[in-house]
């Protein structure tokens, strides 16, 4: 029964496989490029951990008490700017153009995050003797993060393009700021509303879908303009 529950949790992560197979990455042999993106993710997170442990260690008790600390979240999210630099490094090192490059960066980043931050939890917890919905929720949230990371990679690519309409630059910058500081405004709003875990995941999915739709609209316009 425990293995059956673990299998159900892993099955919820199949969008990662479908993204790789049906986006054309498998035809381009992009597996090792995704691994490279995952390696850059690990390096970025290690750098963030060093910065957080060095400069923001005093905020750890307040953030772990279960209460929402606005200033601690601002400091933590400011360190998340390193993620944008990590995506920029991935995009500069991965050859290719078009959607395959962006999906490779986002998929590699998201897969590494799932393995490192949720892999052990699923292997140990989901195979336990007690059933818990928390593991199902974590897997569903991982799919939301997949959309979010591909969106972030696309926004970074758009931000670095010199042929992007200048009127759209502020919008791209705004979407990047909204993405980076989502831990402040979104988590703060969810904390104030005190909604249940299922509705929390639904709200996060809605936010990721709205940002992704806006990003896709900008990207499709530029792709049509430059012919990719």
Q: Would you call 131 helix, strand, or coil by DSSP?
A: coil
Q: What are phi and psi of 156, to 5 degrees?
A: -65, -40
Q: pLDDT over 70 for what percent of the chain?
A: 87
Query: Global pTM?
Result: 0.89
**Contacts for 106 with CB less than 8 Å, ≥ 6 apart:** 146, 149, 150, 151, 152, 153, 154
Indicate if the pLDDT at residue 42 is higher than 50: yes
pLDDT of residue 59: 46
User: pLDDT per residue over 147-201, tens digit each?
Assistant: 999 999 999 999 998 888 888 999 999 999 999 988 888 888 888 888 888 999 9
pLDDT class of 136 with cuts at 50, 70, 90: confident
Q: What is the largest CA-CA distance in the chain?
A: 57
Per-residue pLDDT, averaged over 132-158, amounts to 91
Q: Which of 2-11, 24-33, 97-106 has the lowest mean pLDDT?
A: 2-11
Indicate if the pLDDT at residue 64 is higher than 50: no
DSSP-derived letter for residue 90 is H
Q: What value does the mean pLDDT of the chain take?
A: 84
Q: pLDDT over 90 for what percent of the chain?
A: 44
Indicate if the pLDDT at residue 4 is higher than 70: no
């Amino acid at each position: 029964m425990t293995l059956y529950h673990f299998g159900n949790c892993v099955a919820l992560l199949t969008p990662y496989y479908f993204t790789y197979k049906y986006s054309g990455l498998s035809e381009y042999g992009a597996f090792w490029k995704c691994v490279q993106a995952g390696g850059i993710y690990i390096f970025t997170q290690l750098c963030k951990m060093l910065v957080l442990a060095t400069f923001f260690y005093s905020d750890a008790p307040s953030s772990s008490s279960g209460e929402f600390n606005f200033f601690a979240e601002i400091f933590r999210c400011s360190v998340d700017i390193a993620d944008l630099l990590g995506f920029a490094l991935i995009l500069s090192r991965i050859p290719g153009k078009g959607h395959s490059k962006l999906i490779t960066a986002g998929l590699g980043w998201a897969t590494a995050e799932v393995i490192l931050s949720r892999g052990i939890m699923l292997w140990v917890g989901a195979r336990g003797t007690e059933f818990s919905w928390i593991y199902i929720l974590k897997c569903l949230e991982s799919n939301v993060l997949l959309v979010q990371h591909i969106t972030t990679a696309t926004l970074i690519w758009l931000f670095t393009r010199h042929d992007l309409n200048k009127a759209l630059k502020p919008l791209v910058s705004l979407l990047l700021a909204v993405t980076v500081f989502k831990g402040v405004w979104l988590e703060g709003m969810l904390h104030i509303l005190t909604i249940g875990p299922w509705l929390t995941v639904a709200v996060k999915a809605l936010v990721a879908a709205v940002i992704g739709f806006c990003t896709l609209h900008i990207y499709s316009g530029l792709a049509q303009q430059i012919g990719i």
